[in-house]
Amino acid sequence: MSKKIATIEEIFESENLDANAIVVTGIPERHIEAVKAIAKLFVATDYHNSTFKPDFTDYSQDKFSAVADMGSPSGVGFSCHDSDRWFSPSAVGSRLVSESRETAKMIFNEYQDLYKAFMVYDREVK
């Protein structure tokens, strides 16, 4: 069952961590904020699915992940299109799946800025 909606800072504090202390090195500067955003989403997804352990060997266990309408590269129109149910084998990783459609959508809507930070990329072409 999903917990109360909390800020990313509150979620990290619940694990005695600081959401603003994430350090990423060894990758191009243009990807650092995306990696920080997805790390925060991993922790938020764990928080809101604290009693759910996805079992990718259990074909009868449903797993839900938000599906976004991407809009333009600037993120205009970026929104949760739906959530989709996945079966094993899965097209999504276990870190961002939820036990219910409602929880997957809530996580996307509440932390949309983080999804946008890691999903929307206006790649420079040389």
C-alpha 44/C-alpha 32 separation (Å) is 19
pTM of full prediction above 0.85: no
Q: How confident is the model at residue 88 (pLDDT cuts 50, 70, 90)?
A: very low
The DSSP call for residue 57 is T
* CA separation for the pair 78, 113 (Å, rounded): 10
In the predicted model, is pLDDT for residue 66 greater than 90?
A: no
Q: What is the predicted pLDDT for the residue at 12?
A: 98
Per DSSP, the residues of 1-20 read -------HHHHHHTTT--GG
pLDDT at 2: 55
Choice among 26-40, 63-77, 93-107, 112-126 with the minimum mean pLDDT: 63-77
- Residue scoring higher pLDDT (17 or 66): 17
User: Does residue 65 contact residue 80 with C-beta atoms inside 8 Å?
Assistant: no
**For residue range 4-41, what is the model confidence (pLDDT) as tens digits?**
889 999 999 999 999 999 999 999 999 999 999 999 99
Q: What is the pLDDT of residue 35?
A: 96
Give the span between the Cα atoms of 120 and 74, in whole angstroms: 7
Helices in 16-111 by DSSP H: which ranges?
Answer: 29-48, 101-110
pLDDT at 93: 65
